[in-house]
Amino acid sequence: MSDLRSVCVLLLMLGCWAEDVQEPSVSELLWKANKDKVRSDREPLVIDDIAYDSEGQRNADPCTSGGRCMWPKSADGKVYVSYTIAGHYCEPFAPHPHLHYA
């Protein structure tokens, strides 16, 4: 009986020492699978579960990477930006007959 108690106490102690092991997330599994992979220039760059042709494609705003969204420069070196000012804008502090001031 004493041996049975010892075994029960030993099993109880081992159970207390056991840690809760959580399953890794999908992102963690993908990172572990790809972390040591060496890619050639012809292969896409894989980050998590998304493949990119280049590091520049990871940017959410493509206009900031590569200047593809800039206005063209004219022959004189200036950039001309067209704009329109609507007629309902007016000068500040000018009298407005349609407004009633208290």
pLDDT tens, residue by residue, 34-77: 778 777 778 887 776 777 777 767 777 667 666 667 788 899 99
| pLDDT score recorded for residue 96 | 65
* pTM, to two decimals: 0.27
Which tens digits make up the pLDDT trace of 76-91?
Answer: 999 998 888 776 766 6
The pLDDT score that the predictor gives to residue 55 is: 73
Residue 76: the pLDDT is 94
For the range 8-13, what are the long-range contacts, defined as Cβ-Cβ under 8 Å and sequence gap of 24 or more?
A: none
Q: Amino acid letter at 10?
A: L
